[in-house]
Amino acid sequence: MKKTSIILSALFLLFITASPAFSLLTGEQAPDFTLSDQHGKPVKLSSYAKKFVVLEWLNRDCPFVKKHYDSGNMQGLQKEFTDKGVIWLSISSSAKGRQGFMTKEDAAHFLESKKSAATALLLDSDGKTGKLYDAKTTPHLYIVNPKGSLVYQGAIDDKASVHSADIQSSKNYVRTALEEALAGKSITTPSTASYGCSIKY
Amino acid sequence: MMRYRIHISLFLVYFAMLAPAFASPSHVKATLIAEQKTMEPGKNLQAGLLLEIEKGWHVYWINPGDSGLAPSLEWQLPAGFRSDPLAFPYPERFHIENSVNYGYEKEVLLTTTIYVPTSLLEGQTKLKARAQWLSCRDVCIPGEAELTLELPVKNKTAKLDSKWKKKFRLTGERIPRRIPGWISFAKAKGNLVILTLVSQQQIQMKNLDFFALEEGVLDHAYKPDITFSGNQIEIKLRVDSKRTDPLKNLRGVAVSQKPWVGNSKSLLIDTIIQ
């Protein structure tokens, strides 16, 4: 009897170690969250039901993020789609004391100095939302459709590099996915491997 | 007072002598090196990008894992020269934050074959290249360098450079290659891929690991589950859960600290998934 329970607990432990890390599949319901924005105001994902929502993980000091902000590429993409009614939520998951950590004042300054066209910059310094979405890199982008399903997750484009000069010849996955989604089409490339810095949880 | 100053400046000189290896803000020193001392017209040459990495920092493999970026080398070769793509020795695993990366600490040599034209005249030849890399600790810093490899051209068989030949030999043992006598096949089973390696000889393996050559194929954090039976090895791998289409091919590197054959510790796998 005792032996059986030992075997069972060993099996159970095996199961735990072998069970997949939580990972979100494209097509699944995007988990809801509430985070504070640059004004300290709570923002809840599900309050944007009926809209397309982009989630963009950032770390202002990561060279891959700088590539897309210093060139204006990220802001251009934000402007193009927020003008079409898309909600764009930038999210910082850097923990306190780690690279890219932001207070709400830092977040407000970032939005203003970078001329960001994001709807809001949300602060996730405990990393809960980042981990909920299994966000691995900065940048890492997700698109949620008006029904709350995840329709895209991955890289901003197909050129993993830190050089702004590469942007022009890159294929922007997020633009393509948003154009297709807004046109009511299915998304050709719903998932890609994101590239960038690890998130400083 | 004067003597005191001299001491300080000597100290600074001493310090400067210690420091230059990592004077680069990216914490990596990049050099172009060749396996041989001279270049012979019409004969291939083994060259490489040597990256010396400051303690605590790392650079990435061809598949960097969950984040990061592989180094690159762009040659600006004189007319008639050609080069192969960089060969990457097998990597180490790093568990950083919530993610797993594949890369190198301390030092890595990325090698390439340079094809030297037969028409080359005796004299000095300079081969120029631009190296780019990303080095990370908890933070990441991109680095780049314009590098030159200068070698005399001589119409006689080139001698290996004793300074570098060992490094090229040891790196060669770590570069993935197909090995005759090993057969591989793979099948899908749910979210797993089961790779089977079969040898005609008795198998002796140590610290077996597997790395996919491309991103977005396997779950990088999943430590391969390995079983031996007779003359075959079964390696269970987990497919990247974010994939939306089924995996058709498995391209990767199986690494064993006991060589697969001779001194080769990494076996290149390229097999369809049944």
Write out pLDDT tens, residues B207-228: 899 999 999 899 999 989 999 8
Q: How confident is the model at residue B9 (pLDDT cuts 50, 70, 90)?
A: very low
pLDDT at residue B24, rounded to an integer: 63
Calculate mean pLDDT across residues A153-176: 95
Residue reference for tokens 């894992």: B65
CA separation for the pair A43, B170 (Å, rounded)? 55
Q: Are the CB atoms for B273 and B247 separated by under 8 Å?
A: yes
Cβ separation B98–A131 shorter than 8 A:
yes
Taking CA atoms, B177 is separated from B89, B97, B145, in Å, by 10, 32, 29
Q: Are strands A137-138 and A42-44 parallel, antiparallel or unpaired?
A: unpaired
DSSP state string for B181-202: TEEEEEEEETTEEEEEEEESS-
ipTM of the predicted structure? 0.74
Q: Considering only B7-11, B107-111, B251-255, which range has the smallest mean pLDDT?
A: B7-11
Measured between CB atoms, which of B141, B241, B244 is closest to A20?
B241
pLDDT at residue B143, rounded to an integer: 93
Taking CA atoms, A125 is separated from A59, A95, B21, B137, B150, in Å, by 11, 4, 36, 20, 51
Q: Give the HSE-up count for residue B246: Cα atoms under 13 Å, Cβ half-sphere.
A: 10
Rg of chain A over Cα atoms, rounded to whole angstroms, equals 18
Q: pTM value?
A: 0.83
Which residues are CB-contacts of B272 (< 8 A; sequence separation ≥ 6)? B186, B248, B249, B250
Which residues of chain A approach chain B closer than 8 Å at the C-beta? 18, 20-21, 23-27, 61-64, 98-99, 131, 136-137, 153-154, 160-163, 190-201
* pLDDT tens track for B18-58: 443 455 677 999 999 999 999 999 999 999 999 999 999 99
Calculate mean pLDDT across residues A78-97: 97
Percent helix, strand, coil in chain B, to 5, is 10, 50, 40
Measured between CB atoms, which of B96, B140, B216 is closest to A192?
B216
DSSP state string for A12-79: HHHHHHHSPPP-PPTTSBPPP-EEE-TTS-EEEGGGGTTS-EEEEE--TTSHHHHHHHHTSHHHHHHH
pLDDT at residue B22, rounded to an integer: 52
Cβ separation B219–A99 shorter than 8 A:
no
Cβ separation A62–B140 shorter than 8 A:
yes
* pLDDT tens track for A50-60: 999 999 999 99
Q: Are the CB atoms for B142 and B130 separated by under 8 Å?
A: no
Which of B257, B170, B162 is CA-nearest to residue B207?
A: B257
* pLDDT tens track for B93-117: 998 767 899 999 999 999 999 999 9
